[in-house]
Each structure stands twice: as structure tokens, then as C-alpha cells.
Chain A
Amino acid sequence: MRKIGIFAFSIPVLASALFWWSSGPAHSDPQWVDSEVEVIAGDVSAEELFEARVEVIAMSCAACHGTDGRLRTAIPAIAGRPEALLNLQLQSFKQDRVPGATVMPRIARAYSEEELQGLAAYFAALDP
């Protein structure tokens, strides 16, 4: 069994349900959710969760690179480019080692090395 920190509503869920029960669904206070739950995965593997996380991050990329990263404008298409190259670029952005880079270092710093590696693999696997 692996312990996986996944995103979910937390606290002891039970306690929250009781809180809900007693207070009714009138919660103007957003504090009632707490997202740091640890769930022990059964048939959801760490790999599946990681893949899902990469897919969700990748959806944001489309806003500048087009759906599935396929659009070519001043901003390059990223679908189907070599994984090693994409990974090198993303890791270099994260480490602020690309002279003249504009928005990408500010974006790449928000993600872990593994996530960036995952994104490189994800877009490399798509048809250009």
C-alpha cells in the first residue's frame, strides 16, 4: 500500500459531515473545506494520479499553445516535439537559465521537476 497525498476534501470527512449536518448547507465561509487529505490508494495507482495531474496542468498550456499544444503562432506548437528537448526547455525555464525568456520561467517555477518531465512526455506523445 502506498500513501498518496491527493487532493480531496479532508479533515476527517466524518467530522465535516457532522458539521454540515448541524449547521446546514449555508456556508458563506469557505474555510469549511480543507484540502490536505491523505488517501491510501487502492486501485488508484500513484501513476494514474500523476498522469491525471499532468493532464490537468496540460489543459492550461492550451490557452497559449492551442488545443493539445498544436497551434503555431509567435508562440511555438509543442505537440509531437521530442520529449528530451521539451524536458530540457521546461527544466531550463524553471531554473531561469534561458536568456531573454519571457513568461515561461514564471510559469515553470510553479511545477515540480517531475511534473515538467511529465508534461514533456505528454506533449511529445501527441500528434503534431
Chain B
Amino acid sequence: MFNQPISRRESIKRIAGFSAAAAAWSWPSIAIPGQGASGRVVVVGGGFGGATAAKYLKRMAPELAVTLVEPNTRYITCPFTNLYLGGIRSFESLWHSYDELRQRYDVEVIHELATDVDVDGHTVELASGTRLAWDRLILSPGIDIRWNELDGYDEAAAEKAPHAWKPGDQSRLLRQQLAGMKQGGTFVLVAPDNPFRCPPGPYERVSMVAHYLKNHNPSAKVLLLDAKDGFSKQGLFMQGWAEHYGDMIEWVSRSNDGTVIRVDADRLEVETEFGMIHAADVLNVVPPQKAGFIADRAGVTDASGWVPVRPDTFASALVDDVYVIGDATQAAPMPKSGFIASTQGKVAARAIAAELTGRVLLPEPSWANTCYSLIAPEHGISIVGVYEVYNGQLREVPDSGGVSPMGADPLFRQLEAEYARGWYAAITQDVWGTPAS
């Protein structure tokens, strides 16, 4: 059946996923693209993935009706939260609005929590009881925390030992605690095992904390207790820590008994695998995570708590007509980053535009990611990954990507710090339309 010429519509159908063959076998649950689809797309979550998908859907197919469901009227980024902790960025500079999506792209934005998904009826239920109908659903709910997976770490504990891994009040709390820490005190960061949101995040965080302490509390210590034996951009981070902060930061790997198994938030103490107790003056716990709960409600998660997706489009591997992007997905070797969540949103939007309009062509996809981290205000490092589908799996394009070179000169590090700030301005413009300041 591959030897006959196919029409444009056929190619789109095939690209969109088996529809041609499915029609021949009267597979019931697959919509035939461009036929009878009325073009309603609901996006749940207005973060990096969801806001991008909504905007790019309207850019590619303005005739689609796109509704974005997001409880918060402003989005606060996790990226650059660490700079805020380090005292080199204001909290307000992390805020973004949904004005561009509404006004320029005609996206309907509803500020509510989605509470349930009926995949057979193709509806989403909101906290108010409203039901929204969709032809295609995109979920980009980010992460939820697995409370109590780490013994003693529940929502009450997070008020004393913040995670600050979802933005907002938690970041403010941690900032206050850091600023109020006693002279010569110890800041303890507990880092989780993979997979988790933002692989370089804990290491950028201790860098920015050390930057703050160096200026305000130079006899303080930073202890990083890690459930892993290695981490993203490790060589570059460790070299930078030594260069800027001497021995202020101590990293304890899993093999050196870094894995924390219990948290006592009242006493600000943690216990490690082999029974060591560490006392903290400020305790920052980055806890184990899973996909946002709405993914569970839609039945798209598997036993891991994350969402398996078809690699080419990020359609759910389990449920038809539902696409999932961002941190909620299992997309290794892609990291859980805002950059890749946004890129995934663009490719998924393209796939949906192709399916629903029959006019947009979906070629071989490509996803890029660049994660910058600041070790000091003028010392930036980066990791690049460009991804493709090969034999039905995501992989990094061979001989591409990688991290900044070791031993680069200060100008190179300074340039990457400037580019990190440029990246933040660009991605927040691209996703939320925030004007560069």
C-alpha cells in the first residue's frame, strides 16, 4: 500500500497517526482529519508548554477555537527564581500576563482550575462545574509534588522547609529565610533523584544562594545533599563554585551518603540513608515529583506517575485526541525544562493544526533546547540538546548539542551570562508576549 501516490490529505492522515489504515479497518476511535472536526482545542495549563501551544495553534490555524484554562491571572516563572533568591532579579520581573494571548491571538483564557477530564465525552470539567467540549485536548499541567514520599515532607512541612520548586509564595518564603539566616549559618538543599523538573536547577540554586551569602553572610555554609552521584553540567558547576565561592558549597553525593530519607521540618533536620543527621538554619527541600493531577484524571499517566507520549507529536500513548507536553511527560532524553516544554508545545500545535485543518503539513519534527545556568552574575554556562525521532524513539541528534567547554575564558562565561538574560527576555516574549525590558 505504500506504492501508490498519496494525496496531501492522505499524507497528513498518516502523519497524524494511522488514520488511513484505521479507516480501512474501521478503527472506531480515530477521527478522520478535516472531516467533521469542528476545531475546538482546549489547553489546560498556561505555563511554558500550554501558553506556547495556544499561541502557536492560533498562528498556524486562526480558524480554530482555542481555550486556555489556567487558575492564575499571572504566571510566575521558575526560570530566574534562583536569580531572585540571589538578589540579582526582582520578584515582579518574573511575572507574565495572558494579555497577548487574549488580545492579539484571540485565545479564550479562563482563569479556573480544571478538575476532571471525560475522554469519551471529550469534555473538561472546571472547578465551577462548567464543562468545556473539545476536539483535541492539550495538557501542560507541569508537576505536582509527591507529598510524604520523602518521609516527613508534607504541605505543612513545606511552610517551614520550602521547596520553591513551583513558583510564587514558596520562592518568597525561601528568600525571606535566606535573608534572615544567622551569620555563619548553614543552608541545606536536598536534591532528588531523577527524573525531576529542571536538572541543573538545584545546582544553579546553590550557586545563587552562595552569591547572596558571599556578600551578606560570608561565613555561612551551603550543604547540598544529593540522591544522585552526578548531575547536569557538573564539571562546570564545580569549577565555578571553587572559583567564586571557595569551599562555601559542599556537595554530598549519593555514594557519600547524600540521599535524604527523612525530613523534620520543625527541627530543621534531615536524616540520610545511613543515619546521619544534618541540622540546617535554612532548609530547602526539592521533593520527588509527578505529573500534575489532571493528567491522572485524563488517564494518560502510567505507573511511573508521568505521561508516556507518542514521540513524534506528543499525543498521549494511551488516550486518543489528548496531547500532553512539558514536565508532565516522559520524554527522555529531553530534560524537564521550560524551553523544551515550549518547543514541544509548538510541535504538538503543528500536529493538531495538521489534523484539524488538513491544510498544515507536519514534516519530520525537530525540537531544540538550551538551558542556561548562572554560577555568578557574570558567569553563565549552558547545555544544548537538539532532538529527533529515530526508530520510534526520541534521541539527541548525533554529533550535536552538549555543554559549554571547560576552561573557557572569562569573556566566554560573561557572554553566556548575557545570553542567559537574552534568552529569558526572548522566551517570555515568545510565550506570553512580555515586552523585553
Chain A positions within 8 Å of B, measured between CB atoms, are 1, 6-9, 12-14, 16-18, 20-21, 25-28, 30-44, 48-50, 52-53, 56-57, 59-67, 71-75, 100, 102-103, 106-107, 109-111
Contacts and interface: CB of A to CB of B under 8 A. Distances in A.
A36 B391 contact: yes
B155 to A, nearest CB: 31
Contact of B15 (A7, A30, A34): A7
Sort A-B residue pairs by CB-CB distance and give the 3 closest, nearest first.
Answer: A110-B386, A7-B364, A110-B400
B430 interface: yes
17 contacts: A7-B363, A17-B25, A20-B18, A30-B308, A35-B364, A35-B389, A35-B392, A36-B391, A40-B3, A42-B8, A44-B11, A60-B346, A62-B430, A64-B419, A102-B404, A102-B412, A109-B397
Main secondary structure of the interface of B (DSSP, over half): mixed
B425 A73 contact: yes
Contacts of B382: 102-103
A5 to B, nearest CB: 8
Given A39-B6, A40-B3, A44-B8, 6 more contacts: A27-B317, A48-B361, A60-B343, A60-B367, A71-B430, A107-B368
Contact of A66 (B8, B400, B411, B426): B426
Contacts of B364: 6-7, 35, 53, 56
A72 B5 CA distance: 45
- A9, A20, A38, A102 interface centre (most CB from chain B within 10 Å): A102
A23 to B, nearest CB: 13
Contact of B11 (A26, A41, A75): A41
B406 interface: no
B397 to A, nearest CB: 4
Nearest to A76: B422
Contact of B10 (A42, A64, A72): A42
B425 A71 contact: yes
B312 A1 contact: no
Contacts of A16: 18, 21
B343 A63 contact: yes
A83 B304 CA distance: 47
Contacts of B2: 12, 37-40
Interface string B422-436: 110111011000001
Interface in B111-162: none
A60 B366 contact: yes
